[in-house]
Chains A and B, each alone.
Chain A
Amino acid sequence: MHLLLVGISHRTAPVDVRERMDFATRGLPAALDKLAGCGSTAETIVVSTCNRAEIYAACEDIETARNDIATFISEFNGVSSSAVAPHLYAALDLDAARHLFRVAAGLDSLVVGEPQILGQVKSAHAAAVSAQTAGPILNRLFHASFAAGKRVRTETGLGSGAVSVSYAAVSLARKIFGDLDGRAVVVVGAGEMGKLTALHMKSQGVQHVTIVSRTLQHAARTAEAIGGASAAPWEELDSALSASDILISATGAASPILTKAHVESVMRSRRNRPLFIIDIAMPRDVEPAAGEIEQVFLYNIDDLQATVRENLQRRASEVAKAEAIVSEETDKFTAWFRSRAAVPTIVALRQRFESIRRSELERLDFKLAALPSESRTRVDEITRLIVEKLLLTPTEQLKSAGDDADAMAAYSEALTRLFALNDPPQATPEASRGTSKVEPFARKPSRPR
């Protein structure tokens, strides 16, 4: 059984191709159903986000499965295969596993370390579980990917720090005020930038947004666009400020509209409650010296961008740590995945030993019949323990040989031949001959003495 990944992502495809790969709206259950119908895959999971569509499958015949999946991707999305094919990538077995672990860890994301991806991978797995297209291999693979993603999240700083200006502003506001619920924001200027930042603040729990503009109509229009915001005329700026906690300033004014002295007078009327000023206007709306006032936290667009850059650098420096974790988790999964190759041989070997034990016990049944039933149970138990002990080391050795495919094949081959595992195991006379043949071997070690 092989592990196969076929996918398309922001790394290989431009946005106009990517946006047509929309499994989420067309329905994951339908997609999983259709894939299972192909017949060339034993297990399938579809991971679909706005930046990627990836199909993980467990299959026997790699080529057929790969072609089936490629055809499925183009057909399901109604895109010609010639338009999709050049952007598809595929990975096999451990490379596929490593890829999924990197995805779950956020290492393959457009913004490295973004937090949503792990949840998206989890819901992709959940969808496959409820559609019953996930089996033992993909279940193990995906659970391992959750572990890898979680480890990267908790053990590295890959996901820490805001990496967009508006998130940086919100995270600062949270560090100053704690909860944003019930806080009030004043937006000065009716432009697009102020509106966007206000919308973002509102989505983070800010209660009151007041728009102040030189022309009241503009302010009213923007307030309406935000929804649940109020507009105030320019003259009420000071009173709005004294009732608010955050000021977003985004006018097109050529010279500062708020001087240090002005902010100082506002702070007096606020009894020095903290005021967070976000000056996203260019040129600046608030005199930089205003930031020197106690309890005034003034950040302009450059400051916010600088913190974003710092965070991105910090994330980049954590990439190596995250990759190391992904490698560790890949190795763990690899060991399990490869040891699976040994499973048929181990099962056959155990069956062979067990059948020998049973047939010998049956053969000696007339001799044992005289014994009390308690002793017979003990004989049964002792023989079983001997078989277990004999098999313990070979089983472990075989499983650990999984790292080396050639060694594994050689071991399996040797075991199959030595114990005639391909022959039907129910031949009692052969088995008894086998035991008698073992006797000289058993004496052998005593000879050198």
Chain B
Amino acid sequence: MNAAPLVLYAIALAAYAWHFAQRNATVGRTATTLLIFAALAHTFVIGMQTMEVGHVPVAGPTSAISTFVWLLGLAYLYTELTTDERAMGVFILPLLVTLQSIPALRPGVEDRAAVLQGPLFGVHVSSLLFAYASFALACVIGITYVLLFKEIKAKHLGFFYARLPSLQVLDRMNQVAVVVGWIFLTIGIIVGAIWAMQARGGYGVDPRVQAMSLQDPKIFVALVCWFVYSFELFAARRIGWGGRRAAYLSAVGFAIVLLNFVPISYFLTKSHNF
């Protein structure tokens, strides 16, 4: 079922790329319309899965990825519609298409373990997914910042100069995305810790609950992320690490997020393999 949104995301990506190359306003509007349709189709898919299994499918890594893609698509659409800047689409859409191909190739919703029922778990997962979507946006904005920055510094005003918004705007968008992401990351981690403590009381025999400690790669890397983004926010405000350095930090931060989100979830973690 996840294949339909994947196809729509891919078509939207082609339209965004065409728009970026040609700067044709009609193509741009078409691209946005296609992405809106993709997001609607994806909403429908997630809605159907929710009806099917009786809860929002976020428990296993595959359905979490699908939900993440959906959130990122919506977050990007929100940014585009509020800032009227369409240039970032060509950078965001490849990420959507790549990640969405995982749920498209592994159909179905994973069963939810009994331990995962309850509101705290829902808050934990949804805040983290939303945080990751924000960080993805921040990363892409950061990459475009660096591309434009390099053109201006090299005094060769060409491709990106003509297509991207100003450095100031990119920097501000990056900051907002990181702040939003950081807030949700913090909430997600704290709620996760509370939930783990409660779970230990009720389901102490479950090996996965027992593995919930700082030694588990997934939890450890999530904390590394939190430190990276905390440092970025601190450095931008206190030691003048705005602009390019903040952009690099956003890229590094999101690389860690992705690492944690896909390979570690599937292969390494002992605590989060539900």
Contact = CB atoms under 8 A, between A and B. Distances in A.
A272 interface: yes
Contacts of A295: 240, 242-244
B242 A273 contact: yes
B152 interface: yes
B24 A177 contact: no
Contacts of A176: 152, 166-168
Interface residues of A, number: 27
A13 to B, nearest CB: 35
Interface stretch (B66-74, B154-162, B211-219): B154-162
B243 A178 contact: no
Interface stretch (A14-22, A195-203, A303-311): A303-311
A237 interface: no
Contact of A160 (B162, B241, B245): B162
A273 B246 CA distance: 13
Contacts of A157: 162
A172 B157 CA distance: 9
A178 B244 contact: no
Given A178-B165, A178-B169, A172 B152 contact: yes
B245 A294 contact: yes
Contacts of B156: 310
Nearest to A295: B243
Given A274-B167, A306-B155, A175 B243 contact: no
Contact of A272 (B153, B161, B165, B240): B240
Given A154-B24, A294-B243, A177 B157 contact: no
B150 to A, nearest CB: 12
A175 B240 contact: no
Interface residues of B, number: 22
Contact of A297 (B24, B153, B169, B240): B153
A304 to B, nearest CB: 9
Contacts of B25: 154
Given A273-B242, A294-B243, A178 B155 contact: no
Contacts of A291: 153
B243 A272 contact: yes
Q: Is the interface of B mostly helix, strand, loop or mixed?
A: helix
Given A176-B167, A176-B168, A307-B155, A274 B162 contact: no
A155 B22 CA distance: 8
A175 B155 contact: no
B148 interface: yes
B166 A177 contact: yes
A160 B22 CA distance: 13
Interface in B80-113: none
A239 B166 CA distance: 26
A155 B153 contact: no
Interface in A341-391: none
Nearest to A302: B155
A174 interface: yes
Most chain A CB within a 10 A radius of its CB, from B148, B167, B241: B167
Contact of A294 (B24, B148, B244): B244
A177 B168 contact: yes
A271 B168 contact: no
Q: Which 6 A-B pairs have the closest CB atoms?
A: A272-B240, A178-B166, A178-B168, A271-B240, A178-B169, A303-B155
23 contacts: A154-B25, A160-B162, A172-B152, A174-B166, A175-B161, A175-B167, A176-B167, A176-B168, A178-B167, A179-B168, A268-B240, A272-B242, A273-B242, A274-B168, A274-B243, A291-B153, A294-B244, A295-B242, A295-B243, A297-B153, A307-B155, A310-B157, A310-B158
Given A175-B161, A272-B242, 11 more contacts: A160-B162, A175-B148, A176-B168, A177-B166, A177-B167, A178-B167, A294-B244, A295-B244, A303-B155, A306-B155, A307-B155
